[in-house]
Amino acid sequence: MEISEAVIDRLLSKVEKREGDGCWYWTDHLNRGYGQMNVGGKQMKPYRLSYEAFIGEIPDGLVIDHMCRNPTCINPMHLRAVTQRVNILCGDTFAARKKAQTHCLRGHPLVDGNIYYSTGGGGRRCCECRRMRGQTPEAKQKRRDYRAIPANKEREAERMRLWHLKNRRST
């Protein structure tokens, strides 16, 4: 998109440049924390306009990432074109915190050989914790084998009969 000098002048007139962090703070209208500007009857994001005016066109499939983590900044030196995945993992998001996690809640390291990926998109899981819970395929097979022994089947049937007697609904 070609950006006219008039639009660039309007863009820069609504910016407050601060020395400390180098950010160019958008001082006009904000929508959900990000700047917004009307250009030719269309609402545009000032950081996108800034990137296109000073760096170049935003490649297809990429989004603009604020490297300074300041959503009101339109300094083109603080902006970069990245994939949506990179943008999410660089921000302060749940996914980014999980990706940066090096140990599970019990303190086991999340390294190759001690992680597995749960089905259904649950993310990385700790193999050691899985072993402790007895959910490994070997542990499940051991439980199936235990239940297959005739004496254990009788015990299990009696346990279930007593459970049903105890939890029977009164009518």
The answer to whether residues 13 and 85 belong to one domain is: yes
Residue 76 belongs to a domain: yes
Q: Which residue has the higher pLDDT, 75 or 138?
A: 75
Task: Give the pLDDT confidence of 22-31 residue by residue, as tens digits.
Answer: 999 999 999 9
Burial of 3 (0-12, 13-18, 19+ CB in 10 A): middle
Question: Could you give the number of structural domains in the chain?
Answer: 2
Convert 16-30 to b/e letters by CB count within 10 Å (16 or more is b). Answer: eeeeeeebbbbeeee
In this prediction the pTM is 0.63
Same domain, 70 and 143: no
pLDDT of residue 54: 94
Domain final position from 100, 124, 155 = 100
Domain around 155: 137-166
pLDDT digits (tens, 9 = 90+) for 149-165: 777 778 888 888 888 88
**Is residue 88 pLDDT above 80, yes or no?**
yes
Which amino acid, 61?
Answer: G
For 58-83, the pLDDT digits (tens) are 999 999 999 999 999 999 999 999 99
